[in-house]
Amino acid sequence: MAKRNFEIWDNHWKDAPVWTFLLLLFSVLLIMALCFQGGLLVFKGNFVNAGIACALVGIGVYALIYRIIQMRTSSDVRSNERGALAAVSLVIPFAGFVFLGGAALCNEFSLRPAQQQEFSEIEQRATEALSRITADYLNASLKVNQELQSGCQECNRLSSSSRRARRAEELSLCFASDLALDCKDGGANLLSRLQEEMQGRFSTKPNSQINIERLLTRMNDDRFSSRLYQYAIQAESGELDSLFRSLQSHHAQQIAGFQCLDLGSRPNIGAMGTTELDCSDWHLLFCRGWGFKVATILFILMGLSLFPLYFADFSERLSPRTESKSEGISMQI
C-alpha cells in the first residue's frame, strides 16, 4: 500500500518538468530557512516554535502545490473545484512566509547592522572593564605571592625555633595555608610550592567571568551562527552589569581572605548599558526594515515555488462526442 501511494505521488509530480520540481524544492528550502530565522526573532529565540512555524509554512506550500497539480490532472468529479480551493489556500502559508520571512529579511537589511553597532559599543565598554578588573586581580595575586615569599624567607632566617614557629603560624593564618607552617624549617622547593598554591587560588575563573568572555566573543561575531542567537545575545547583554557585580564580588571575597595584607580597594566600573533596539519587536522590524529589497526577494521566492503550476502538462479536457449522443461526454487526452 505504501509503495502504491508513493507511485501515485510520484506520478503526479511527473506532470511537471523535473527542473521545475527541483526549483520548487530549492525555493521551499529557502522559504523555510527564512521562516526559521524570522521565527527565532518573533518567538524570542525559541528554536522549537521557530522550527514548527517554518515546517508548517514549508510543508504547506509544498503540499498545496502538489494538491493543485493532482486535481488539475485528475478526471474525478469536481476535481477542478478542489484544485481551485487548494490554490486559494496557498494564501495561508504564503502569508506566514511574508510575516516570518519578511521579519528575517527586514532584520538582515536594516535592524541587524544597527544592533551590531550597539553590540560593538557595549562590547568595547565591557572589554575595557574586564581588562581593569583582571589586571587588578592579577596585581593582587602578585602582591600576595610576594608577601608570602618574603615572609617565609624572613621566618626561616629568625634565630630561635620558637620565633620561627610563631612566625610560621602567623603566615599560615594570614594566607590560610598549611604549607606555610613549613617556613619554620625551610626545605627544598618550598618557595616554589608556596607560589604554586597561591597561583592555584587565583587562577580559577568564576562562572561569571566565563559567561562575560563568552558573551563578548558572541557580540563581536558576525558569522551566520550569531544570527541564530541574535535574540539570546541581546537578552544576555542586559545581564552584563549583574555578571560584573558577581565577578567583582568573587574577587573581593578571594582577596578578603588575606586580612593581614593591605591590598587596596577594587576598581569601580560604570554601567555597561543595554541595547535600545529589540530584534523581537516585529513592529520595529517591519517599520524599520521593509523596503524594495525585502519585497522583491519575497515575491521572487513565491514565484519560483509556483513554477511547477506554470509548466505542468494539464492536457486533459472535456469535449462532447459527436458519434453517439447516448454516450454523453467523454474524456480525451
Could you tell me which of 9, 26, 69, 73 has the C-alpha nearest to residue 310? Answer: 69
| Domain match, 143 and 182 both | yes
| Domain match, 126 and 100 both | no
The contacts of residue 202 (CB under 8 Å, 6+ apart) are: 137, 138, 140, 141, 144, 254
Query: Is there a domain that residue 178 lies in?
Result: yes
Number of domains in the chain: 2
Give the residue numbers spanning the domain of 140: 116-256
Select from 203, 221, 256 the last residue of a domain: 256
Give the pLDDT score at 15.
Answer: 63
Three-state SS for 306?
A: coil
Q: Give whichever of 12-26, 43-57, 128-142, 243-257 has the largest mean pLDDT.
A: 43-57
CA distances from 325 to 316, 328, 329, 330 (A): 21, 6, 9, 11
| Domain match, 142 and 237 both | yes
Contact call for residues 81 and 28 (beta carbons, < 8 A): no
| Domain match, 134 and 239 both | yes
| Domain match, 171 and 56 both | no
Q: Are strands 329-332 and 317-320 parallel, antiparallel or unpaired?
A: antiparallel
| Domain match, 13 and 96 both | yes
The contacts of residue 273 (CB under 8 Å, 6+ apart) are: 121, 122, 125
Query: Is there a domain that residue 267 lies in?
Result: no
Query: Is there a domain that residue 275 lies in?
Result: no
Query: Is there a domain that residue 205 lies in?
Result: yes
Query: Is there a domain that residue 301 lies in?
Result: yes
Query: Is there a domain that residue 268 lies in?
Result: no
CA distances from 261 to 147, 148, 201, 291, 322 (A): 8, 10, 16, 64, 113
Q: Which three cell numbers stand for residue 320?
A: 462532447
> Measured between alpha carbons, how far is 247 from 7 in angstroms, rounded to an integer?
64
| Domain match, 130 and 249 both | yes
* 150-188 pLDDT, tens digit each: 887 777 777 778 887 888 787 778 777 777 777 777 666
DSSP for residue 322 = S
User: Which amino acid makes up residue 229?
Assistant: Y
Q: Where are the alpha helices (DSSP H) in 229-291?
A: 230-237, 240-256, 282-289
Q: Which three cell numbers stand for residue 224?
A: 551566520
Contact call for residues 69 and 15 (beta carbons, < 8 A): yes
Select from 207, 240, 256 the last residue of a domain: 256
Predicted confidence (pLDDT) at residue 42 exceeds the cutoff of 60:
yes
Contact call for residues 269 and 129 (beta carbons, < 8 A): yes
| Domain match, 122 and 96 both | no
* Segment among 2-6, 57-61, 115-119 with least mean pLDDT: 2-6
Compute the chain's Rg from CA coordinates.
35
| Domain match, 244 and 317 both | no
| Domain match, 103 and 120 both | no
Residue 97's pLDDT band, with cuts at 50, 70 and 90, is: very high
| Domain match, 54 and 172 both | no
Q: Which three cell numbers stand for residue 168?
A: 610560621
| Domain match, 30 and 92 both | yes
Query: Is there a domain that residue 308 lies in?
Result: yes
What are the percentages of helix, strand and coil residues in the chain, rounded to 5? 75, 0, 25
* 225-283 pLDDT, tens digit each: 788 999 999 999 989 999 999 998 888 888 877 777 777 777 888 888 888 899 999 99
